[in-house]
Amino acid sequence: MPDPTLWGLFVAASVVLLLTPGPAVLYIVARSVKQGRAAGLVSVLGIHLGTIVHITAAAVGLSALVVSSALAFAIVKYLGAAYLIWIGIRTFMAGDLDPEALAVPAEPLYRVFRDGFVVNLFNPKTAIFFLAFLPQFVDPGRGVLHWQILVLGLTFMSLGIVSDGVFALVAGTAGNFLRRNRRFLRAQRWFAGTSFIGLGVTAALATRK
Tell me whether residue 98 is in a domain: yes
Q: What is the pLDDT of residue 161?
A: 94
Q: Count up the domains in the chain and report the number.
A: 1
Share of the chain above pLDDT 70, in %: 67
Contact 77, 203 (CB under 8 A): yes
Tell me whether residue 16 is in a domain: yes
Please give the full DSSP string across 89-133, using - where no structure is assigned.
Answer: HHHHHSPPP-GGGG------HHHHHHHHHHHHHT-HHHHHHHHHH
Residue 207: pLDDT band with limits 50, 70, 90: very low
Using only C-alpha atoms, the chain has a radius of gyration, in whole angstroms, of: 17
Task: Provide the whole-model pTM.
Answer: 0.72
Output the average pLDDT for the chain: 76
Q: What is the pLDDT of residue 154?
A: 92
Tell me whether residue 143 is in a domain: no
Q: What is the pLDDT of residue 208?
A: 44
pLDDT tops 70 at residue 7 = yes
Share of the chain above pLDDT 90, in %: 9
Tell me whether residue 32 is in a domain: yes
Tell me whether residue 41 is in a domain: yes
**CB neighbourhood size of 89 (10 A):** 13
Tell me whether residue 147 is in a domain: no
Residue 159: pLDDT band with limits 50, 70, 90: very high
**207 vs 20: which has the higher pLDDT:** 20
**What is residue 19's DSSP assignment?**
T
**31 vs 95: which has the higher pLDDT:** 31
Residue 8: pLDDT band with limits 50, 70, 90: confident
Tell me whether residue 152 is in a domain: no
Tell me whether residue 60 is in a domain: yes
> Residue range 161-190: average pLDDT?
73
Q: What is the pLDDT of residue 45?
A: 94
Give the structural domain span for 107: 4-137+159-205
